[in-house]
């Protein structure tokens, strides 16, 4: 592993470029693991993030598939089977009309990320038992609840006035025999962090559908940086709605993070969508 948390498949990079230069370059892009994620990711070029969005929109064609494949945003309750139980996530669809309120219902990338975590733990690509996890922009809280059921000590966070529904969902779903634990805290991206968030720094930072507004990108990255130590792995899932915003995020984040895209073959088989993407980010280690 090098200083950027990167492990390359030595068998592949050892060979000389052969007749097919494109295939060779693609192989070079494939990492065997990134940070604490022990699965294959495709490295996003820090020089050309445009290439990433062109690939995603050109190959996955997200606009041709229907939104809300997994989230039912009009219902008051969303049921999701995960970790041997049925989670029942309360939603407040009527609040979605309030300007700036987005977390009162679940979004597809949240369901995808929750199920991805379950699958990644089962496949031993991630270990969450006893790990400190901070979730950003938790909304209704499905992802953080799944992480707690998988053994993590989770802090679910959101804007200060969005915590009521989140707390209700944590209380309603984390009953009985839970391998980990969960607490709910306010956290506004870009703000100074409470001591208990940074001491110690988390093993994992999670976020689903948190890259959707250009205005919030700088603050979001500032918080990701504040929360990232040498052992921290960030996992973000997002919905492919706007290539310009994703590109802006990737360009800015690539200055400080090594970014890899998780192939859909490693997602939960029941929860894949061409409209969603999952990235693993690891803070680059600066040489002194």
Closest CA to 157 of 92, 102, 207, 100: 207
Q: To the nearest whole angstrom, how small is the minimum distance from the Cβ of residue 213 to ligand SAM?
A: 7
| Continuous segment of H or E residues that includes residue 226 | helix 214-227
Q: Which one of residues 110, 151, 180, 260 is an interface residue with ligand SAM (CB under 6 A)?
A: 110
How far from 48 is each of 11, 152, 218, 252, CA to CA, in Å? 26, 35, 19, 12
The three-class DSSP label of residue 184 is: strand
The smaller minimum CB distance to ligand SAM, of residues 185 and 231, is found at 185
CA 117 to chain centre: 10
Q: How far apart are CA 23 and CA 281, in angstroms?
A: 24
Does 222 sit near ligand SAM (CB under 6 A)?
Answer: no
Cβ atoms within 10 Å of 122's Cβ, excluding its own: 12
Closest CA to 285 of 35, 32, 20: 35
The smaller minimum CB distance to ligand SAM, of residues 212 and 257, is found at 212
Q: To the nearest whole angstrom, how small is the minimum distance from the Cβ of residue 115 to ligand SAM?
A: 12
Q: To the nearest whole angstrom, how small is the minimum distance from the Cβ of residue 21 to ligand SAM?
A: 39
| Binding track, positions 77-106, relative to ligand SAM; x by CB under 6 A | -------------------------xx--x
The HSE-up count of residue 174 (CA atoms within 13 Å, CB side) is: 28
Does 216 sit near ligand SAM (CB under 6 A)?
Answer: yes
Does 189 sit near ligand SAM (CB under 6 A)?
Answer: yes
The smaller minimum CB distance to ligand SAM, of residues 28 and 102, is found at 102
CA 113 to chain centre: 6
Residue for token pair 């979001």: 220
Does 109 sit near ligand SAM (CB under 6 A)?
Answer: yes
Closest CA to 237 of 70, 3, 31, 26: 70
Does 144 sit near ligand SAM (CB under 6 A)?
Answer: no
Q: Which one of residues 96, 159, 222, 252 is an interface residue with ligand SAM (CB under 6 A)?
A: 159
| Continuous segment of H or E residues that includes residue 258 | strand 257-262
Q: Near ligand SAM by CB under 6 A, which window of 53-61, 120-128, 136-144, 263-271? A: 136-144
Does 233 sit near ligand SAM (CB under 6 A)?
Answer: no
CA 254 to chain centre: 16
Q: Which one of residues 188, 229, 230, 255 is an interface residue with ligand SAM (CB under 6 A)?
A: 188
Does 210 sit near ligand SAM (CB under 6 A)?
Answer: yes
Residue ranges that bind ligand SAM, judged by CB under 6 A: 102-103, 106-107, 109-110, 137-140, 158-159, 162, 187-189, 208-210, 212, 216, 219
């Amino acid at each position: 592993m090098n200083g950027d948390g990167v492990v390359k498949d030595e068998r592949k990079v050892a060979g000389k470029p052969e007749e097919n230069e494109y295939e060779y370059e693609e192989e070079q892009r494939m990492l065997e693991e990134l940070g604490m994620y022990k699965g294959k990711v495709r490295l996003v070029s820090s020089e050309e993030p445009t290439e990433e969005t062109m690939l995603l929109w050109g190959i996955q064609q997200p606009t041709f598939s229907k939104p809300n494949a997994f989230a039912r945003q009009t219902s008051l309750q969303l049921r999701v089977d995960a970790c041997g139980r049925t989670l029942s996530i309360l939603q407040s669809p009527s609040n979605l009309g309030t300007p700036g309120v987005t977390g009162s219902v679940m979004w597809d990338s949240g369901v995808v990320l929750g199920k991805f975590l379950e699958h990644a733990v089962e496949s031993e690509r991630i270990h969450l038992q006893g790990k400190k996890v901070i979730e950003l922009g938790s909304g209704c809280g499905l992802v953080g609840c799944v992480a707690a059921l998988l053994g993590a000590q989770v802090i679910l966070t959101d804007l200060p006035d969005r915590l009521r529904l989140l707390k209700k969902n944590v209380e309603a779903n984390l009953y009985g025999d839970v391998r980990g634990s969960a607490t709910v805290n306010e956290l506004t991206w870009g703000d100074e962090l409470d001591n208990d968030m940074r001491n110690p720094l988390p093993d994992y930072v999670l976020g689903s559908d948190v890259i959707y507004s250009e205005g919030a990108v700088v603050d979001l990255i500032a918080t990701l940086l504040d929360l990232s130590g040498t052992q921290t792995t960030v996992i973000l899932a997002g919905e492919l709605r706007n290539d310009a915003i994703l590109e802006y995020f990737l360009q800015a984040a690539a200055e400080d993070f090594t970014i890899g895209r998780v192939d859909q073959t490693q997602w939960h088989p029941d929860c894949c969508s061409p409209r969603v993407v999952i990235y693993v980010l690891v803070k680059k280690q600066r040489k002194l």
